[in-house]
Structure 1
């Protein structure tokens, strides 16, 4: 971990990128301060600040209903157009909100506040809402991007800061639309989505459950918990040996186990886990699950495996947190989580935009222990 923590990320950067603002950006850029030595949060914040208003390169998932829909990303979704794609922009904004809470003395705070203030305007969110209400966009960014949007709302909801509370209210119309669409979708979803990429249902359900509990939406919480139990209570012998697939950034097996800890009593969960992942050793060893290998970090698909190492790490920590304190599987889970965390965190840098536009969010979710109640 210390090998990459000493990297300098470009000197004094601007929110629009390293160097001068993009030509298309008419708003005044905000200077990003230098990172404090060995301050991991600063490095992650700088990655997000560099991309949340960086419009290009951009990969949009966009249904065109007519020629008028052929517009730049910043016009289509003016709050979440940066960081290469909509979902990365959303969790880049979440990262910044998370840093405000977990590191309130960060020198990045003024730049973070300016960046979020620029994105979270009533006009921008109204345009975002209008966009997802467009014809043919019912499943837009479902469930990965929409789950991150709800996680962003939950992060703002937890704050006592009046500015963050105001942003939370600004996001409410988009939040309510996403919750309503998800609640309409869940009864129609006949089977779990067991992928290692964006469409995976287990990871999204976990983020959404945490949001529902934070905001007191008991109906949504029950719907998600019931669906998780319907899908997964009888699952056994997850084929962990088949993981990772070559482009995974989420483990289908571990994310399911991380979801189920949220909806089962401890004793039931401990027994279920033994049937679902019998490979977890009781001797503290790590050989049962090796970190994924990235052979070309400039390949946007292959670099997903840096993400799978980070997300596996937080999933294993989450699984361990839900077991009885004397469970013999805990040492192996935590030791293997550390192995994956060390590998994943070393890969988080600004060298290649293919990874830098999103890996900081995964790293922040891990290091701040967001999924297991980290404050």
Structure 2
């Protein structure tokens, strides 16, 4: 991948690609970020990429010459940010910040970007792509889980514009949920990797979606499958992590999933068997952050993401532990350390990381995975 310098985030001028102009570049001006605002910095990363068509890595099976089309014609809503899933969670980032940071100077630009993408026509095009041919496994489970998270974000809003976008997404949402309902019973084993195919991370996002929208079919299926896969797990080898291209921790993401499906006391007991070596002395050095030696390498830069996702997983685990649990201090100390390292690495200089790391940082800093209906398991819900 070529290195793309988009300049300092304090600059006003960002360059993006316009499919309407046959991939000619168009200049975009966004407001200056607030000097002390991380969220403005993350918003600029997403605003720069959601309509940037190239470079692009598509996961696309050609069935004939007619399928050889530019990304914006294949998936007209989610063609930017280098790949489909990054485009989806780039849009989620924008919706999340519009909801949680209403005073951001980026608000008008955010709403305009979402309005440009999430049209009824564009989503109809996405649905045609998703349902044409044998694409039931397209972006499964990572990308479709992020899509459902985008739906949940819009569903949670009372803003009429966001409600309209949420309704526009419904046809694709229904098709994705139907595919997940077919896939989950056939999934015989968990997918224990640190990259896109990991099942634990996707299950967590899909569970949060199912609870937000009140799905009486998807939620119990996900809970049952999570318990089937992981209730008996013990002694997760976290010392073997991270692998060289991980952006998700297999051990910590599994624990972050299980706190969603167990009552607090049961989860605390399960965690003792699953990660028995979490210190009780408040130390932070029991889990070392991942190291990135070349931020221009699109695979190696995954380790910046593992630091951010580890931090939110540990905070998720903390949210479900009893207040007196002696492991809390060490979990918080390590989460803080991973957060500091992960956020410090986010830069607009290298598109290899800038097209997706802002979403991970936003998920962490806005505590998206921690809420009353996700933090303590179904047994403790009101």
**SS of residue in 2 equivalent to 1:62:** coil
Structure 2: how far apart are the matches of 1:215 and 1:172?
A: 11
State the partner residue of 1:221: 219
Mapping 1:128-143, distance limit 5 Å: 128-143=126-141
State the partner residue of 1:350: 348
State the partner residue of 1:192: 190
Once the 2 structures are TM-superposed, how far is the Cα of residue 24 of structure 1 from its aligned partner? 2.4
Once the 2 structures are TM-superposed, how far is the Cα of residue 12 of structure 1 from its aligned partner? 1.5
State the partner residue of 1:259: 257
Once the 2 structures are TM-superposed, how far is the Cα of residue 373 of structure 1 from its aligned partner? 2.1
User: Which digits, 9 at most, give the CA deviation of each residue in 1:279-325, with x for residues without a partner?
Assistant: 10111012210000000000000000000000000000000110000
Q: What do you get for the CA RMSD once the two structures are aligned?
A: 1.8
State the partner residue of 1:3: none
Q: 1:293 to 1:14 in 2, by over 3 A?
A: closer
From 282, 285, 290, the counterpart of 1:284: 282
Structure 1: how far apart are the matches of 2:285 and 2:120?
A: 51
Q: 1:15 to 1:159 in 2, by over 3 A?
A: farther
Once the 2 structures are TM-superposed, how far is the Cα of residue 145 of structure 1 from its aligned partner? 0.2
Once the 2 structures are TM-superposed, how far is the Cα of residue 137 of structure 1 from its aligned partner? 1.1
Q: 1:81 to 1:35 in 2, by over 3 A?
A: same
Query: Is the contact between residue 49 and residue 355 of structure 2 (CA under 8 Å) also seen in structure 1?
Result: yes
State the partner residue of 2:160: 162
Once the 2 structures are TM-superposed, how far is the Cα of residue 349 of structure 1 from its aligned partner? 1.2
**SS of residue in 2 equivalent to 1:127:** helix
Query: Is the contact between residue 30 and residue 106 of structure 2 (CA under 8 Å) also seen in structure 1?
Result: yes
Query: Is the contact between residue 15 and residue 115 of structure 1 (CA under 8 Å) also seen in structure 2?
Result: no
Structure 2: how far apart are the matches of 1:170 and 1:95?
A: 18
Query: Is the contact between residue 210 and residue 218 of structure 2 (CA under 8 Å) also seen in structure 1?
Result: yes
Once the 2 structures are TM-superposed, how far is the Cα of residue 29 of structure 1 from its aligned partner? 6.4
State the partner residue of 1:83: 81
Structure 1: how far apart are the matches of 2:11 and 2:25?
A: 21
**SS of residue in 2 equivalent to 1:16:** strand
Structure 2 unaligned runs (5+)? 1-6, 373-382
Structure 2: how far apart are the matches of 1:284 and 1:180?
A: 45
- The aligned length equals 367
Structure 2: how far apart are the matches of 1:105 and 1:29?
A: 25
Structure 2: how far apart are the matches of 1:44 and 1:244?
A: 25
Structure 2: how far apart are the matches of 1:22 and 1:165?
A: 27
State the partner residue of 2:102: 104
Structure 2: how far apart are the matches of 1:246 and 1:309?
A: 13
Once the 2 structures are TM-superposed, how far is the Cα of residue 225 of structure 1 from its aligned partner? 0.4
From 33, 36, 50, the counterpart of 1:35: 33
User: Which digits, 9 at most, give the CA deviation of each residue in 1:74-128, with x for residues without a partner?
Assistant: 0000000000000000000000000001100111011011101000111110010
State the partner residue of 1:334: 332
Query: Is the contact between residue 13 and residue 27 of structure 2 (CA under 8 Å) also seen in structure 1?
Result: no
Structure 1: how far apart are the matches of 2:286 and 2:25?
A: 51
Q: 1:28 to 1:114 in 2, by over 3 A?
A: farther
User: Which digits, 9 at most, give the CA deviation of each residue in 1:148-181, with x for residues without a partner?
Assistant: 0000000000110000000000000001100000
**SS of residue in 1 equivalent to 2:136:** coil
From 195, 207, 211, the counterpart of 1:209: 207
State the partner residue of 1:52: 50
Once the 2 structures are TM-superposed, how far is the Cα of residue 21 of structure 1 from its aligned partner? 9.5
From 128, 142, 145, the counterpart of 1:144: 142
Structure 2: how far apart are the matches of 1:343 and 1:76?
A: 37
Query: Is the contact between residue 21 and residue 29 of structure 1 (CA under 8 Å) also seen in structure 2?
Result: no
Once the 2 structures are TM-superposed, how far is the Cα of residue 31 of structure 1 from its aligned partner? 2.5
Once the 2 structures are TM-superposed, how far is the Cα of residue 16 of structure 1 from its aligned partner? 2.2
Structure 1 unaligned runs (5+)? 1-6
Once the 2 structures are TM-superposed, how far is the Cα of residue 135 of structure 1 from its aligned partner? 1.2
Query: Is the contact between residue 16 and residue 26 of structure 2 (CA under 8 Å) also seen in structure 1?
Result: no
User: Which digits, 9 at most, give the CA deviation of each residue in 1:241-289, with x for residues without a partner?
Assistant: 1100000000000000000000001111000000000110111012210
Query: Is the contact between residue 15 and residue 51 of structure 1 (CA under 8 Å) also seen in structure 2?
Result: no
Give the TM-score taking structure 1 as reference length: 0.95
Query: Is the contact between residue 196 and residue 249 of structure 1 (CA under 8 Å) also seen in structure 2?
Result: yes
